[in-house]
Amino acid sequence: MKYISRIIDKEIEEKLQVTGAILIKGCKWCGKTTTAKKFSKSVLEMQNPDTEDNYKSIANTKPSLLLEGDKPRLIDEWQIAPKLWNAVRYSVDKINKPGQYILTGSATPYKDDTMHPGVGRFSIVKMKPMSLYESGDSNGKISLNDLFLHKAKIDGITTDLDYEKIAYLICRGGWPSSIDLNITTALKISQSYIDMLVESDISRVDGVERNPELARIILKSYARQVSTIDSDKALIDDVKANFATVSDNTIYDYLNQFKKLFIIDEIEAWNPNIRSQTAIRTSTKKSFVDPSLATAVLDCSPKELMMDYNTYGLLFENLVTRDLSVYSNAINGHLNHYRDRYGLECDNIIHLHNGKYALIEVKLGSTNIDEAEQHLLKLKSLIETNQPKLGSPEFLMIITGTTMAYEKESGVLVVPIGTLKD
């Protein structure tokens, strides 16, 4: 099977040249193992059921045996035997050369006080499911990096991703295994993921048995609030309406496990101090690592999604958030959101490590583009007036589910998601 290049490949290659080991973190099925194998010369698959128990025993007695092999050596799903962390750390110190090990993990192990920090020895790479550009669904004619460099000419650039195709891509998700499948089969991938998640993974992550029915209910309640900053109370009330006996602490425990499994990928609030501190909403924005997980737990087909415009809009925003996370990471940036008590909001703010930033709104259709434009211009004005040290944003952009890119008279860019890349 031909390897599909990932945007993260460049980051992995660079970090292997500077640190002794890299840790690739991310949810199951996002492509960690396939990508890691591209850069490794030997492989230890901890999750192999034929050898898992034996490997865990060796890890507890003489873990150095598991590290033998050509370098870089891949240790896949290392968290199954957490003692391997210290063994790798010691080996990196002893060899004192870059590019010795690649570790992959689809869960954060429970806290172990015997695990030494890997600062200076490990580099961390966060992997997401495929963006639309990586899966070949975005034509990539508009580069996020070029926008920051003011090199992009966007007027008249088009995409063939329309309302119907985007609905399918939301439901299919960015799972590498689904890309070449027929539509019917591809849509089953995310459903299988949810089944495995609630029946097995949420209990395996720390060895605590959890209720699959409750796990599914919590995920469904979370999916109903995706792309919002609604309070935890709203989510808890929704869960209790379907599972009355559950405690708040139990709900939080389940949500924390989903975070450890990299299923929930929330966006932190941006706090530029452009208004009084009391005006800023600091809640995180709810987000799945891939929008297909929301459609799967809601049992929502592309056709059903198109019939529910509100839900479609929220899941479209989740799709955009996933893609922007991938693209912004590739250009040394990260995502935030902004909302204050006066109702002014911005769906995404991309901050680069060099201090440059951009303000981005997300609109599925063309109906609310003018409103989004005014939000962006108002926020820009507030920043320039009350926080001039931040400097002006490099650009203002509205990402849409429409088919043509253009620049408005105000300078605000209207860019279809099907034209973007890093």
* Domain-ending residue, one of 85, 100, 126: 126
Contacts of residue 359, Cβ cutoff 8 Å, sequence gap at least 6 = 346, 348, 349, 376, 379, 380, 393, 395, 396, 397
* Assigned domain for 135 exists: no
How far are the Cα atoms of 22, 23, 98, 99 from residue 16, in angstroms, in the given order? 7, 10, 6, 4
* Assigned domain for 159 exists: yes
Q: What backbone phi and psi angles, to 5 degrees, belong to 183?
A: -55, -45
* Residue 364 shares a structural domain with residue 408: yes
* Residue 62 shares a structural domain with residue 150: no
* Residue 162 shares a structural domain with residue 23: no
- For position 25, which CATH number holds? 3.40.50
* Residue 231 shares a structural domain with residue 345: yes
Residues lower than pLDDT 70 in the chain: 1, 109-120, 273, 275-280
Contacts of residue 197, Cβ cutoff 8 Å, sequence gap at least 6 = 215, 219, 261, 263
* Domain-ending residue, one of 100, 126, 152: 126
* Residue 273 shares a structural domain with residue 353: yes
pLDDT digits (tens, 9 = 90+) for 61-96: 999 999 999 999 999 999 899 999 999 999 999 999
Q: What is the pLDDT of residue 107?
A: 81
Q: What is the pLDDT of residue 278?
A: 54
* Assigned domain for 134 exists: no
Q: What is the pLDDT of residue 342?
A: 80
Number of other CB atoms surrounding residue 149 within 10 Å:
12
* Assigned domain for 1 exists: no
* Residue 246 shares a structural domain with residue 102: no
Burial of 62 (0-12, 13-18, 19+ CB in 10 A): exposed
* Assigned domain for 46 exists: yes
* Residue 147 shares a structural domain with residue 60: no
pLDDT digits (tens, 9 = 90+) for 184-231: 999 999 999 999 999 999 998 888 999 999 999 999 999 999 999 877
* Residue 101 shares a structural domain with residue 184: no
Q: What is the pLDDT of residue 286?
A: 96
**Rounded to an integer, what distance in angstroms lies between the CA atom of residue 175 and that of residue 152?**
30
* Residue 374 shares a structural domain with residue 295: yes
Q: What is the pLDDT of residue 63?
A: 94
Kindly state the tokens that stand for 367.
């109906």
* Assigned domain for 291 exists: yes
* Residue 120 shares a structural domain with residue 170: no
Number of domains within the chain: 2
- Domain hosting residue 314, numbered range: 142-421
* Residue 370 shares a structural domain with residue 282: yes
Q: What is the pLDDT of residue 120?
A: 66
* Residue 51 shares a structural domain with residue 155: no
* Assigned domain for 132 exists: no
* Assigned domain for 71 exists: yes
